[in-house]
Structure 1
């Protein structure tokens, strides 16, 4: 789940603890090009507070007006974009259509386990029975897809994405600044004291130790990205020789085509197999002909977004149609 939806859950829990009524709105189905992906959340309190989004703003405004007149006390299904007038009124792009589940949340206890799952890096699935309004939370597998039927809404919640940067430098600083906006919590390892002393970005968690030990202690999983950006083989290779043996979603290394070939040859002498090396993205990032540090950081994030969205599409199947044309 993304950082925006975490904020939605946190706000909803706070409002419920303050004694307010809260409705949770979920994008359950879309056709054509839709502004927000399946599972996106929007929360509203009976005091008029709101957070999150299900569109570019017009649908949220309509929902707020609807709730001001009559706050929901049972599950409702709302559809937008079915007519030309609705598409004009609500500004849905490219003829997109949305179907929303509006769920009155009974108490904060029904949502707190979801935030707990994120904090403990545990995947859980929340199944909402549309006929009764009851929700249950169970352990999930990574291949569980978002599901919406006439009787159920099932959504997976779990750990946010982690980005481990090995090597502190200009590219790393730009990457560390940009990544949190894209749902990455950022961690950094660099054994070189002078690099750490000159680091300029706040909000990054430093990992102690040599790069290989830091990677092992980090316990990479399928929502972990590891990038080596030091340009120093003594630093980058130590991290890569352990990272390539983990379940990390993405492992990338900075460098030219020539340095990439030399790196492969070195890693083969460090107990790394050809199969493991095939997982390495190097040179790192999309080829946007960039040389400036900020542009390189953008190219790295662009590749991560591309691969992450492709993985989500494969998991969700053809029902997940997201994008603006």
Structure 2
């Protein structure tokens, strides 16, 4: 798991071992437009070195300048704000009207970073609570629906994989897709009962299961923070997973395949106990149309659509694979001009 949280934690532990003082900086509240969400964090070393991100760079520059001038003198956490006035917003590169409230926390051996790192390495979701008066830290379990909580006396942040992804098939495309999905902080499970594929699967950070796809979907209890993609091209596997996943509240259910295969798949799925509304949730062919041909390009295409769905972004119709390929055929294989077609044909 190469999340920003993990990188910040690893840097924190290295710098503690080297005897540095440091600050953990966390975005706890935002108003108006803000470049980074609540919970974003960085660690700032006493000599100005930094890992992580809380803005486009200008606020980091100001914090680095303050530490280089005055060192890390804090003994307990403190709260600072940036972008309160229009002048400050311009100075610190915030969008017009944007304001950010940050907590600056001095890190010591008692800050629980080693324990937090070990929990994240096990794929756990952890709530870290900071007492603003004393700097004391407690760690406990969290749920996927928990968020950042701050009330001036206590700060609770959530760390670990917030979203899950189930990938059906352990082939070459799955490798590329899973590698990027891990970088996007998904907890990735790969399901493939086929003997010839499982022995060569070696993508770090993923969990491989060999149960049948429909059983895997039921066992995982896919929820609103879950995505599932079928990649085997084998109806005996893909259809089993889809018929169960489409009944769940998963935010994304997609299937790889051509337009013809996708149409045939939908006809097969009608034979199962699925409503029209459930069938309409199927993303197929999965991905957005970027002319992808190679496995890495197809993986990016699919994950782009997954990301849009996760962020509740409604993509224009021209970006659907089926629609994009049709448009390209109509225009005699000339490249699609997104600036022209995406606006000319949005309402389909």
Q: Is 1:16 matched up with 2:16? A: yes
Match in the other structure for 2:146: 144
Following superposition, the deviation at residue 251 of structure 1 comes to: 2.7
Following superposition, the deviation at residue 57 of structure 1 comes to: 1.7
| Distance change in 2, residues 1:142/1:187 (3 Å) | closer
Secondary structure of the structure 2 residue equivalent to 1:237: helix
Residue pairs, 1:1-325, within 5 angstroms? 3-68=3-68, 69-71=70-72, 72-107=74-109, 110-159=112-161, 161-167=163-169, 171-184=173-186, 186-190=188-192, 203=204, 205=206, 207=208, 209=210, 211-212=212-213, 215=216, 219=220, 221-222=222-223, 223-241=225-243, 243-244=245-246, 249-255=251-257, 259-260=261-262, 262-267=264-269, 273-274=274-275, 277-278=278-279, 280-285=281-286, 287-288=288-289, 290=291, 292-293=293-294, 296-310=298-312
- Tell me, in whole angstroms, the C-alpha distance in 2 between the residues paired with 1:164 and 1:141: 19
8 A Cα contact 2:76 2:133, kept in partner: no
Secondary structure of the structure 1 residue equivalent to 2:105: strand
Secondary structure of the structure 1 residue equivalent to 2:307: helix
- Tell me, in whole angstroms, the C-alpha distance in 2 between the residues paired with 1:166 and 1:228: 5
Structure 2 unmatched ranges of 5 or more:
314-348
Following superposition, the deviation at residue 122 of structure 1 comes to: 3.7
Q: Higher relative contact order at CA 8 Å, sep ≥6: structure 1 or structure 2?
A: 1
8 A Cα contact 2:229 2:253, kept in partner: yes
Number of residues paired by the alignment? 309
| Distance change in 2, residues 1:118/1:48 (3 Å) | same
| Distance change in 2, residues 1:70/1:177 (3 Å) | closer
Secondary structure of the structure 2 residue equivalent to 1:93: coil
Of residues 151-160 and 205-214 in structure 1, the stretch that sits farther from structure 2 once superposed is 205-214
Following superposition, the deviation at residue 52 of structure 1 comes to: 0.5
TM-score, scaled to structure 1: 0.76
Structure 1 unmatched ranges of 5 or more:
312-325
TM-score, scaled to structure 2: 0.71
Q: CA RMSD in A?
A: 3.7
8 A Cα contact 2:251 2:309, kept in partner: no
Q: Deviations over 1:58-93 (max 9, x none)?
A: 211221221231312222222222234433332223
